[in-house]
Chains A and B, each alone.
Chain A
Amino acid sequence: DAGVTQSPTHLIKTRGQQVTLRCSPKSGHDTVSWYQQALGQGPQFIFQYYEEEERQRGNFPDRFSGHQFPNYSSELNVNALLLGDSALYLCASSQNIDRAGNQPQHFGDGTRLSIL
Chain B
Amino acid sequence: AQTVTQSQPEMSVQEAETVTLSCTYDTSESDYYLFWYKQPPSRQMILVIRQEAYKQQNATENRFSVNFQKAAKSFSLKISDSQLGDAAMYFCAYRRFTRGMRFGAGTRLTVKP
Chain A residues near B (Cβ < 8 Å)? 31, 33, 35, 41-48, 50, 55-56, 58, 88, 90, 92, 94, 96, 99-110, 112
Interface contact tally, CB-CB below 8 A: 70
Asked if B101 and A105 make an inter-chain contact with CB atoms under 8 angstroms apart, the answer reads yes
Asked if B97 and A41 make an inter-chain contact with CB atoms under 8 angstroms apart, the answer reads no
B66 to chain A, nearest CB (A): 14
B105 contacts the other chain (CB 8 A): yes
Q: Name the contact of A90 in the complex, choosing from B45, B47, B104 (C-beta under 8 A).
A: B45
A101 touching B102 in the complex, CB below 8 Å, given contacts A42-B91, A90-B45, A109-B44: no
Chain B residues with Cβ below 8 Å from A45 are 100-102
Asked if A102 and B50 make an inter-chain contact with CB atoms under 8 angstroms apart, the answer reads yes
Report Cα–Cα, A30/B60, bound state, in Å. 28
Report Cα–Cα, A35/B47, bound state, in Å. 16
Known: A35-B101, A104-B50. 5 other contacts (CB 8 A): A43-B103, A45-B100, A105-B47, A107-B44, A110-B43
B25 to chain A, nearest CB (A): 12
Asked if A99 and B97 make an inter-chain contact with CB atoms under 8 angstroms apart, the answer reads yes
B86 contacts the other chain (CB 8 A): no
Q: What are 16 A-B pairs at a CB distance below 8 A?
A: A42-B6, A42-B91, A42-B103, A42-B104, A42-B106, A43-B101, A45-B100, A48-B98, A48-B99, A56-B100, A101-B95, A101-B97, A102-B50, A107-B45, A108-B44, A109-B44
Asked if A42 and B96 make an inter-chain contact with CB atoms under 8 angstroms apart, the answer reads no
Report Cα–Cα, A43/B105, bound state, in Å. 8
Q: Name the contact of B98 in the complex, choosing from A41, A94, A109 (C-beta under 8 A).
A: A94
